Amino acid sequence: MSGGFRSRSSKGDPTPETNRGNRHDAPREGAGDRRDERQRGDRRERNYGAERTSREAGDRPAHGARSDGGDSSAQRRISVGGGHQRASRDSRDSWDRHTGQGENRTRRGDRSERGSRGDRTGGGFRNTGRGKGGGFDRRNNQRGGRSREDNHRNEAPQVDLPRLTALSAIGAVFNDGAFGNIALPREITEAGLTGRDAAFATEIGYGTMRLVGVLDEIIGTCSSRELGKLDPIVLNALRMGAYQLLYTRVEDHAAVDTSVRLVPQKVKGFVNAILRQIQKKSREEWVASLAPDSEIGAIAFESGHPEWIARSYEATLESPSGAPVAANEVDSVTSAAALSVDTIAADAASEVDVDSAADTDPAGTEAATAAEASHDDSKHEREFAELRKALEADSQRPIVHLAAKPGEISADELALITGGEVGKYSPYAVYLDGGNPAHIEPVRERLAFVQDEGSQLIGRVLVTAPVDDDQGRWLDLCAGPGGKATMIGSLAAIDEAEVTAVEVAPHRADLIRSATEGLPVTVVVGDGRTVEVGSGFDRVLVDAPCSGLGSLRRRQESRWTKDEADIEGLTQLQYELLAAGVERAKAGGIIVYSTCSPDLRETRAIVDKALANLPVEELDAHPLVAPMTNVGTEKSVQMWTYRHGTDSMFFAVLRKQG
């Protein structure tokens, strides 16, 4: 092992290092007594836990988006185009009172218009966010100065509340920049949807967001009008209708009819005609006719991704940083890495000899060439198989990962209380397959908090990587909104260490203070590159702002709202923050660099630049995440959602020299 690592796992021989690991992984003595006191009403002043935020699973908010997930003053209305069409009971009742047609409202249990039970699966997202824009103005019952009675004099409008709810959230996301995992749950709550209705709204809402780029290509083929010139409510209704036609088992007539009902009278015929056109082909036929010519482009289109994201994943999967490694290939990979210059030269000479023998043994040469081509084809297919898996994982519903707060409750206890499953890799992780974590007693009591298992591992790696003469001065240089700071602070309380947490945004700094209340964490507001916090830190975490490509499953629409140019703008910031972290570490201190992205430009390229220009050496991080395997063949660790169930996070461990 490079760098002299000794694994500090919670199991093994009782060396001082191992004992320290046990302190981290087990509740402190008396923790159970404190919980008993809480249950008796004798609650202590000290509080623990973390607010659930957009980075609770290791993800940072998308570049340029509000990082606290909150509302701006301009985001108090949901955008579905043209007015204020809100999917709430107030909106529905206002419509009924104005038209006198409440008795004609579609019953929410009508399966003919909602699809089979198998189609209405939940999305597993939470938190809230709002937008502005259109639809029905329930304040004065008007749209553009005309009442609904004028527009629908001869109609009996039937409000389909689940679809109206999904439409409102889609408008908020694509017209006002709200987060999908924030907007849709809020709309569902305000509409009073529960059970199958909530599940159906979740399915068509998140499904439309996830595939909007593909749906727009299909709609654009059928429309003589430019999509950008369509009223937002019309475009979003078309998107939602197309999704139901092609990606659910909702009856075609129901998908078309209910979509037509959602738009103004003057465009009903247009929407009906477009959806009837889409209905004529199957999903497979549409994908085959519209997918890009390149193989990667076709795979991306089929899976519902922009091509640049698929190419980013493929580049990492083909590199040592992220390539899959079977257990029986580890030794050969290690041996290949140790090849000497003389061995490589001998191999080159051997290749020359084979070429020169072509004239004397053409049949043998042809056979060798055919075998080589077959090997390349097989490797090619394996690589694309991995790419498909990685892309498909972005569309799967994430389960909730809880972190048992070190020193307060064990993962076994937390799993017993919640009915969850103990995690595979982090000693603090518990998996939940549904439900609202905010309603769980240990979360309310701040004995546990929501955090992706990959993020838990990064916090633990920072604390368990061996440092000579650790004085207990730890630094989290990019701490907002506080998930990793909470984990690190909890471990610091066990080790009697102190954590300085730096955050550039004041409102995010407040989130850290709330999350780490009662822990030995001092929050400082400032730019991590220039903030005055001193130097000589034993351990430094640089969890740099990134593209968030590793957590696309948590914000289904973000694959379409991100731009590749965002990455180019982030890489300089990432390197400068890492350089600042190295500067603040003591000689012999540990620096952990991490991102929630598998893109090589944000991961290995930053680390390699640091190795070339800064006084650091890279340590082998693999022993620190055991029993996790298949994390690449570099010394760094690249997790993948499809392999490990975590977000696709990256980290490297550096030691400052000098």
Instruction: Return the active site residues.
Output: 596
Q: Which residues contact 340 (CB under 8 A, 6 or more apart)?
A: none
Buried b (16+ CB within 10 A) or exposed e, 574-610: bbebbbbbbebbbeebbbbbbbbbbbbbbbbebbeeb
CA distance 647 to 59: 8
Is 543 annotated in a binding site? The answer is yes
For residue 480, say whether it is annotated as part of any ligand binding site. Answer: yes
CA 519 to CA 513: how far, in whole Å?
A: 9
> How does DSSP assign 314-356, residue by residue?
HHHHHSTTT----GGGHHHHHHHHT--HHHHHHHHHHHHHHHH
Q: Is 222 annotated as a binding residue?
A: no
Rounded to whole angstroms, the Cα distance separating 431 from 553 reads 16
Quote the CA–CA distance of 21 and 15 in Å, as a whole number: 10
Residues 363, 366, 372: CA angle, nearest 5 degrees: 145
Does the annotation flag 484 for ligand binding?
A: yes
Is 602 labelled a binding residue? Answer: no
For residue 71, count other CB atoms closer than 10 A to its CB. 16
266 carries a ligand binding annotation = no
Please tell me whether 546 is known to bind a ligand: no
Q: Please give the backbone phi and psi of residue 494, each rounded to the nearest 5 degrees, phi first.
A: -70, -40
Give me the sheet containing 429-432, strands edge to edge: 421-422, 429-432, 400-404, 448-450
Q: Is position 503 annotated in a ligand binding site?
A: yes
Q: Distance between terminal CA atoms of the chain?
A: 21
What distance in Å separates the CA atoms of residue 312 and residue 300, rounded to the nearest whole number?
A: 11
**527 belongs to an annotated ligand binding site:** yes
Which tokens sit at 626?
Answer: 């055991």
Residue 145 annotated as part of some ligand binding site = no
- Binding-site residues for S-adenosyl-L-methionine sit at 478-484, 503, 527, 543
- Binding-site residues sit at 478-484, 503, 527, 543
